[in-house]
Amino acid sequence: MTVETAPEARAEGVPRRSFLKWSGAAGGAAALVTTGAHLGALPGVGVDNAVLTTGALSVDRTTWSACIINCGSRCPLRLQVTDGTIVRVLPDDSGDDELLTRQIRACVRGRSMRQRIYNPDRLKAPLKRVGERGSGEFEEISWDEAFTLFAEKLTYTIETYGNEAVYKQYGSGTWNGLLSTSGGWKRLLNLMGGCLGYYGNYSYAQIGTCTRFHYGNTDEQMSNSFEDSAANSKLIVLWGNNPQETRMSGGGVLFTSMWAKKKAGVKIIVIDPRQSDSVVTLADEWLAPRPGTDAALVAGMAHAIISEGLQDQAFLDTYCQGFDEAHMPAGVPAGNSYRSYVLGEGPDGVAKTPEWAAGITGVPAASIIQVARQIALAGPVNITQGWGPQRHANGENQARAIYTLAALTGNVGIPGGGTGGREGYYWPVSEWFPDGDNPVTAKISVFGWTDAIVRGPELTKLKDGVRGKDKLDVGIKFMLAYAGNMLSSQHADINRTREILSDTSLCEFIVVVDNQMTASAKMADLILPDTTTAERWDMAPSEYTGDMAYVIMCEKAIEPLFNSMPSYEMCTQIAKKLGIEAEFTEGRTEEQWVRWLHEQTRAEHPDFPEFEQLREQGVYRYTDPDGYTVPLKAFRDDPVANPLETPSGKIELFSSELWEMTSTWEFPDAGPGDKLTALPEHVDTWEGALEARTNTAYPLQVIGHHFKGRTHSTYGNLAWTKEAHPQKVWINSSDAKARGIENDDLVEVFNDRGRIRVPAKVTARILPGVMSVPQGAWFAPDKDGVDTGGAMNTLTNIHPTPLSKGNGQHTTLAQVEKVSK
């Protein structure tokens, strides 16, 4: 394998070398200090949108673009350009206020796009580390030097350790761009022999794994759409589901959930420890269980339903395995059905009465009975769970328990009903950039990469969830982190993660590709400055937008700022050095690939507009020709002809596969809750609600919630969004009073993993004994190691969940104290 040295790709008059150091500034921003030539002013930074809108503005042209981030939908933007500078960002001006043709209005984040494009934190040139890893000390290098270094290190890793030592990190900073989601990096690595893969994602690793054992899916099982609920449901149960904040864009289900509530008048119950905006805006009733106790709450409701004979026995007999002893797989001892578990006839001998559930969850028994009766008697009920309940140490069981409640009441596969999964949607039909197949079969959990760095050859199938082979042969030695902030933000236990990454004898080379100088970028050996969507060609299909799908044109509005470069062009230049340019590009430029992808879509869907027509109109909306989303309808209509992909072909409340795995999987370092169960039982876990009652050092449960000012960590450095939505920890009024904390006091939240310093939001809108920290804040440690940015994952545990080996990051205990002046 040889590395070709090619002429410099892009210099643009920037000096070949100048020493740069990025140092943390207040609020998690970064200041650039240079000892070399000034890299140029940020165009447009001094232009204030609020001023621009007061009078006429002369613009050269207006192009369509999109906010391509991982919020659950995509929103169109119209970028107005003057003299090569974006001077104004306008929202979608097409569509109307009807359900399936609605205008796709961008939220506060997308409307702040100029602040992201012209941000002081923009990466301006390729950088190579010169200090200790994590020190933030880099020197500027040319693109040719950067491409050569990348190619040499990749080649060395493959030749020395094998392709399994190469890892492309999970990241979602650019999401649902037909080209930019990949950026070309997966294709490049696959052409070089592949890399260690991963399964799952940080959004729903637990439910994405456990669903296979319940419904037979290899991903989460969606529920009915809110559009269907508006037409057919009598009740919607939002279980840990907060569409008003997590899906708040104009194209997302904020609109459709509001439609179901305001236009159709469907009753809505919200179950959440925090009185979210969805509770305030949508809820007729609110139940607030302790975090991590959802399976117990379901069991208490099930006891009330079974005791009163309100279960849909005909549905359970026909479509389910494991509800009662008469419908269990052969060879399983008596007492292992879900009914036996609930009524106390199982191995533990404990009846899961509403009173039992009340003692665990904190929800009064009378409320448990009342809501259980409503769910059983209301008629078609759409139980839709968000991804908060499954992001716990016992998250797999919690997700399956909520699925089970939908089956218990016979709501699966019917109009107005639901499966217990997240609200349904019509997946877009656009063609995606072809990454090719990964020749490396081995995969780890998306959350397991720090373990794979530290003890890769020790990771096994039965102990660590390795897939594709029985064990790994080598640890991660070369890591590529593209459009993500996992290294110092979204992964758990930031301090421990940074300690692992700082050891260059473990992971030997780290490449970060981004357009902002994040804390994760500071952990790199090589930084490659990417462009924003406004500086490249792409298209953006919708994602979780209900039964209206769409695609947005993303035209290149301006030339790449400074010495940045689109990822596809970077990959092309690296491929050239590696001798695989022809195979990588197939003779196409970035724009030509976007045009080609659209033509592939039109070949299957000729109703789609031609490229130039879409370029003019900006957005193309379309709907499912089969109507509203009702998952598993075919199974409900004829379960024999349309069996599920479970061993029984039925919904498995008792999982045959999990029953076998309980005796084969290994938990050598097991803590409380590290076990598998064939039923969706409540399991007390490490740092869970039960331990919170006896842990005097860290007595408060800490969860994270998604936040209007950011999508994960994206937009976390914008002045507007930080002013509108400042980072604060939510604390119940009683917990605050006991600690002498008042609203807006500066406090420190801490445990033995780290400490964050943020203002307090003292409120009755969160359950006593619980705190919530908006997730995704930029990590900004001071000289004493206290994170002044308020990054939730400074506190969270790196310990994986038992089945998916996923991120149980909502299972955390901590203490809080007022900062003395």
Same domain, yes or no, for 474 and 573? yes
Average pLDDT over residues 355-384: 98
Instruction: Decide if pLDDT at 58 tops 80.
Output: yes
DSSP state of 420: B
Residue pair 99/623 in contact (Cβ under 8 Å)? The answer is no
Same domain, yes or no, for 222 and 128? no
How big is the CA angle at 377 (ends 375 and 380), to the nearest 5 degrees?
70
How high is the pLDDT of residue 32? 31
Which DSSP string corresponds to 360-375? HH---HHHHHHHHHHH
Same domain, yes or no, for 467 and 359? no
Phi, psi (5° rounding) for residue 746? -80, 125
Among 629, 552, 548, CA closest to 96: 548
The CATH number that applies at residue 322 is 3.40.228.10
| Rounded Cα gap, residues 256 and 230, in angstroms | 8
Q: Is residue 87 part of a domain?
A: no
Same domain, yes or no, for 769 and 798? yes
Instruction: Decide if pLDDT at 12 tops 90.
Output: no
Proportion of the chain above pLDDT 70, given as a percent: 93
pTM of this structure: 0.94
Q: Identify the residue with better confidence: 668 or 290.
A: 290
| Rounded Cα gap, residues 274 and 735, in angstroms | 14
Q: Is residue 540 part of a domain?
A: no
SS3 167: strand
Instruction: Decide if pLDDT at 40 tops 60.
Output: no
Residue corresponding to tokens 């005796």:
663
SS3 91: strand
Same domain, yes or no, for 7 and 156? yes
Which is it for the CA torsion 147, 122, 202, 684, positive or negative? positive
What is the 3-state composition of the chain as percent helix, strand, coil, each rounded to the nearest 5? 30, 20, 50
Q: Is residue 673 part of a domain?
A: no
The CATH number that applies at residue 772 is 2.40.40.20
SS3 297: helix
Q: Is residue 683 part of a domain?
A: no
Strand partners, 471: 460
Residue pair 761/471 in contact (Cβ under 8 Å)? The answer is no
Strand partners, 604: none
Residue pair 422/237 in contact (Cβ under 8 Å)? The answer is no
Each residue's pLDDT tens digit, 680-728: 999 999 999 999 999 999 999 999 999 899 999 999 999 999 999 999 9
Q: Is residue 749 part of a domain?
A: yes
791: left (phi over 0), alpha (psi -120 to 50) or beta: beta
Each residue's pLDDT tens digit, 301-323: 999 999 999 999 999 999 999 99
| Rounded Cα gap, residues 463 and 461, in angstroms | 6
Average pLDDT over the chain, rounded to whole? 93
Q: Is residue 793 part of a domain?
A: yes
Same domain, yes or no, for 210 and 334? yes
Number of structural domains found in the chain: 3
How high is the pLDDT of residue 371? 98
Instruction: Decide if pLDDT at 37 tops 50.
Output: no
Same domain, yes or no, for 194 and 234? no
Same domain, yes or no, for 178 and 225? no
Residue pair 219/256 in contact (Cβ under 8 Å)? The answer is no
| Rounded Cα gap, residues 544 and 427, in angstroms | 8
How high is the pLDDT of residue 29? 32
Residue corresponding to tokens 């930031």:
494
| Rounded Cα gap, residues 725 and 721, in angstroms | 6
Question: Does an H or E element contain 525, and which?
Answer: none
| Rounded Cα gap, residues 809 and 740, in angstroms | 28
Q: Is 220 exposed, middle or buried (0-12, 13-18, 19+ CB in 10 A)?
A: buried
Q: How far from chain centre, in Å, is Cα 552?
A: 22
Same domain, yes or no, for 636 and 583? no
Residue pair 685/292 in contact (Cβ under 8 Å)? The answer is yes
Q: Is 461 exposed, middle or buried (0-12, 13-18, 19+ CB in 10 A)?
A: middle
Same domain, yes or no, for 331 and 372? yes
Same domain, yes or no, for 258 and 380? yes
Q: Name the residue range of residue 763's domain.
A: 689-818
Same domain, yes or no, for 414 and 484? no
Quickly list H helices, 78-175: 113-117, 143-161
Average pLDDT over residues 157-173: 97
The CATH number that applies at residue 484 is 3.40.50.740
Per-residue pLDDT band at 56 (split at 50, 70, 90): low
Q: Is residue 602 part of a domain?
A: no
How high is the pLDDT of residue 9? 33
Instruction: Decide if pLDDT at 17 tops 80.
Output: no
Average pLDDT over residues 139-165: 98
Q: Is residue 671 part of a domain?
A: no
SS3 321: strand
Question: Does an H or E element contain 237, and which?
Answer: strand 235-239
| Side-chain half-sphere exposure of 330, counting CA atoms within 13 A | 0
How high is the pLDDT of residue 821? 73
SS3 22: strand
Mark which of 539, 570, 594 sits at the end of a domain: 594
How high is the pLDDT of residue 557? 98
Per-residue pLDDT band at 55 (split at 50, 70, 90): low
Each residue's pLDDT tens digit, 667-676: 998 889 999 9
| Rounded Cα gap, residues 150 and 478, in angstroms | 10
Q: Identify the residue with better confidence: 23 or 345.
A: 345
The token duo for 68 is: 């391509």
Which DSSP string corresponds to 462-506? HHH--BSSSB-SS---EEEEES--IIIIISS-HHHHHHHHH-TTT
